[in-house]
Amino acid sequence: MRLLPTLLLLASATLGFAADGAVPAKDPNAGVVTDPAACETWTTENGTKYHTKDCANAKIKTTLAQSLSEGDEPCKQCQPPVYDAAKVVVFASENGGKYHLFSCRFAKKQTTLAQAVKDGLAPCAVCKAPALWTKPAAPATAPAAK
Q: pLDDT tens-digit profile of 60-113?
A: 999 999 999 999 999 999 999 999 999 999 999 888 799 999 999 999 999 999
By residue count, the chain amounts to: 146
More confident residue, 94 or 129: 129
Distance CA 106, CA 78 (A): 38
Residue 15 has pLDDT above 60, yes or no: no
Cα 84–chain centre separation: 6
Residue 5 has a pLDDT of 42
Residue 69's nearest CA partner among 43, 89, 93, 88 is 43
Residue 47 has a pLDDT of 82
Residue 81's nearest CA partner among 43, 52, 49 is 52
Residue type, 49: K
Residue 9 has a pLDDT of 39
Distance CA 127, CA 106 (A): 9
Distance CA 111, CA 18 (A): 15
